[in-house]
Amino acid sequence: MWDSLWVDVGLATLAGPDPYGRIEDGAIAVKDGRIAWVGAREDLPGPADSMAAIVHELEGGWITPALIDCHTHIVHGGQRAGEFEKRLMGVSYADIARAGGGILSTVTATRAATEAQLLDSAVRRLRPLLAEGVTVVEIKSGYGLDLDAELKMLRVARALQERLPIEVTTTFLGAHAVPPEWARNADGYMDFVCDEVLPAAVEQGLVDQVDAFCETIAFSPAQVGRLFDAAALFQLPVKIHAEQLSDLGGAAMASEFGALSADHLEYLGTDGIEAMAESGTVAVLLPGAFYMLHETRKPPVARLRQAGVPIAIATDSNPGSSPVTSLLTTMNMACVLFGLTPAEALAGVTRNAAKALGRLADRGTLEVGKVADFVHWSIDEPAELAYRIGFNPCQTVIRNGVPTLLG
Ligand code: NIG
Ligand code: FE
């Protein structure tokens, strides 16, 4: 006997032969918070009523795996609308960063904020994501850039799980920028990050993976490599912000460390693509940042596809380059701006987002044995998810097999 069974609904399992893994007249069952059965209704082993304690007759719509936002900086102090105004007047993102604005202005605001303030503002930004069926979110540090403030950000990220029905996976991004105390001494700062900040954060159980910003305005591949060596000592998986504004070969370098993902990638070259294909590193595309910074160079989607590199997409929710808190809108941007198909966009926020977090064994598709996190949408076909802007067809979010109240 199953705990619950959902019938009279289409299933986009993301696990089938076609891009959506479609089952038109499907049934999905849950036992003890895991998916116990999934298939066509006509193949159910018995009459629906006799199979489960609770049977949900949905009268149409589609169920997909719950969404995963695999790249966010959603915990931060302040906002940067003034910088947005400057960019509209023609000042570039890199020039603002070099003048001490950009990431560093959010560092000042984040250091000044209390833990309670950081928590409250992050809750407000997370709510719209939850309402769109997100049940797992990755949250990075990287606006503290000193011991106390990095730990503070990571504690807040973890604490969000007590405030909202969401699972948070934390990423240590102490190497996001060189803070003012270490100006012109990026190597010294990187030593400090590797020797003191990362070990303390790991010691307190605050780190699930390690990331770095590899760029001319941040850290070189050699410097990031030192951080990845330190991460390896703690057996932590790594990710990288790479090839966003120029091609420094960051994605290829990270692939050598078996990186879970390389993110942004507008300037990714052939070597990087081949290295990522070889290591199974996911390409996480961030169309919100591309859009907000009015970039023109697109990530090499066709060549990533051809090479078989899995593509994920994420909001990159942050106060500078991507003040975005809608994963559905991000799916639309990925299609319109980067040329993904709606099925690729959906895979990008489910199956491949799970892979980008090393969680594919447990999440990202509707398959027996996986965590029963899925969403019922009021849509006629799965492509509708990427199609509209500013309309949320989420009907019910099922988390660990139980319909959730979104709090
Ligand atoms: O992913 N690229 C680096 N980091 C963030 C932006 C951070 C910021 O501008 O505050 C990103 O786009
Ligand atoms: Fe980012």
Looking at the structure, do residues 61 and 71 belong to the same domain, yes or no? no
Looking at the structure, do residues 99 and 242 belong to the same domain, yes or no? yes
- Distance, in Å, from the CA atom of 346 to the CA atom of 355, rounded to the nearest integer, reads 14
- % of the chain at pLDDT higher than 70: 100
- Distance, in Å, from the CA atom of 262 to the CA atom of 239, rounded to the nearest integer, reads 6
Contact yes or no for 364/350 (Cβ under 8 A): yes
Mean pLDDT of the chain: 97
Looking at the structure, do residues 271 and 198 belong to the same domain, yes or no? yes
Domain count, the chain: 2
Pocket of ligand 1 contains residue 240 by CB under 6 Å: no
Pocket of ligand 1 contains residue 213 by CB under 6 Å: yes
Position 133 scores a pLDDT of 98
Query: Under 8 Å CB-to-CB from 231, ≥6 apart: which residues?
Result: 198, 210, 237, 238, 257
Average pLDDT over residues 149-169: 98
Q: Give residue-wise pLDDT tens across range 359-379.
A: 999 999 999 999 999 999 999
Looking at the structure, do residues 15 and 155 belong to the same domain, yes or no? no
Position 68 scores a pLDDT of 99
Ligand 1 atom with least separation from CA of 241: 2
Average pLDDT over residues 95-113: 94
Position 318 scores a pLDDT of 98
Q: Give residue-wise pLDDT tens across range 277-293.
A: 999 999 999 999 999 99
Q: Please, what is the end-to-end C-alpha distance for the chain in angstroms? A: 30
- Distance, in Å, from the CA atom of 375 to the CA atom of 396, rounded to the nearest integer, reads 6
Beta bridge partners of 11: 23, 63
Nearest Cα residue to atom 6 of ligand 1: 321
C-alpha of residue 72 to centroid of ligand 1, in Å = 9
Average pLDDT over residues 3-12: 98
Average pLDDT over residues 127-145: 98
Looking at the structure, do residues 331 and 383 belong to the same domain, yes or no? no
Ligand at shortest distance from the CA of 218: 1
Q: Shortest CA distance to 266 belongs to which of 123, 111, 93?
A: 93
Position 283 scores a pLDDT of 98
Give me Rg for the CA atoms of the chain. Answer: 21
Position 66 scores a pLDDT of 98
Looking at the structure, do residues 276 and 394 belong to the same domain, yes or no? no
- Distance, in Å, from the CA atom of 211 to the CA atom of 262, rounded to the nearest integer, reads 9
Query: Under 8 Å CB-to-CB from 182, ≥6 apart: which residues?
Result: 188, 189, 192
| 322: exposed, middle or buried (Cβ count in 10 Å: 0-12, 13-18, 19+) | buried
Q: Shortest CA distance to 236 belongs to which of 177, 284, 171?
A: 171
Q: Half-sphere exposure of residue 204, counting CA atoms within 13 Å on the CB side? A: 17
Residue 52: which CATH number? 2.30.40.10
- Distance, in Å, from the CA atom of 55 to the CA atom of 4, rounded to the nearest integer, reads 6
Query: Under 8 Å CB-to-CB from 115, ≥6 apart: which residues?
Result: 152, 155, 156, 159
Structure tokens at 252: 């290829």
Position 405 scores a pLDDT of 76
Q: Is the model's pLDDT at 79 over the cut of 70?
A: yes
Contact yes or no for 383/392 (Cβ under 8 A): no
CA distances (Å), origin 211, targets 54, 157, 225: 43, 15, 11
Looking at the structure, do residues 277 and 371 belong to the same domain, yes or no? no
pLDDT category of residue 174 using cuts at 50, 70 and 90: very high
Nearest Cα residue to atom 1 of ligand 1: 316
Q: Is the model's pLDDT at 406 over the cut of 80?
A: no
Nearest Cα residue to atom 5 of ligand 1: 321
Looking at the structure, do residues 179 and 205 belong to the same domain, yes or no? yes
- In our burial notation (b when 16+ CB lie closer than 10 A, e otherwise), range 282-299 reads bbbbbbbbbbbbebeeeb
- CA 97 to chain centroid: 24
Position 142 scores a pLDDT of 98
Counting ligand 1 atoms within 8 A of each CB, the residue from 71, 72, 73, 265 with the most, and so the one to mutate, is 73
Contact yes or no for 156/189 (Cβ under 8 A): no
Structural domain boundaries, residue 325: 67-356
Looking at the structure, do residues 149 and 20 belong to the same domain, yes or no? no
**Number of helices followed by number of strands (H, E) in the chain:** 17, 16
Looking at the structure, do residues 223 and 276 belong to the same domain, yes or no? yes
C-alpha of residue 39 to centroid of ligand 1, in Å = 41
Q: Is the model's pLDDT at 358 over the cut of 70?
A: yes
Structure tokens at 66: 């719950």
**H or E, element range at 359:** none
Looking at the structure, do residues 23 and 131 belong to the same domain, yes or no? no
Average pLDDT over residues 48-57: 97
Q: Give residue-wise pLDDT tens across range 329-351.
A: 999 999 999 999 999 999 999 99
C-alpha of residue 398 to centroid of ligand 1, in Å = 32
Contact yes or no for 238/281 (Cβ under 8 A): no
Average pLDDT over residues 177-200: 97
Residue 162: which CATH number? 3.20.20.140
Average pLDDT over residues 16-27: 95
**H or E, element range at 355:** helix 351-356
Average pLDDT over residues 189-196: 98
**406 CB neighbour count, 10 Å cutoff:** 14
**188 CB neighbour count, 10 Å cutoff:** 12
Looking at the structure, do residues 137 and 15 belong to the same domain, yes or no? no
Ligand at shortest distance from the CA of 211: 2
Q: Is the model's pLDDT at 407 over the cut of 60?
A: no
Pocket of ligand 1 contains residue 96 by CB under 6 Å: no
Query: Under 8 Å CB-to-CB from 120, ≥6 apart: which residues?
Result: none
Ligand 1 atom with least separation from CA of 93: 9
Position 17 scores a pLDDT of 85
C-alpha of residue 365 to centroid of ligand 1, in Å = 29
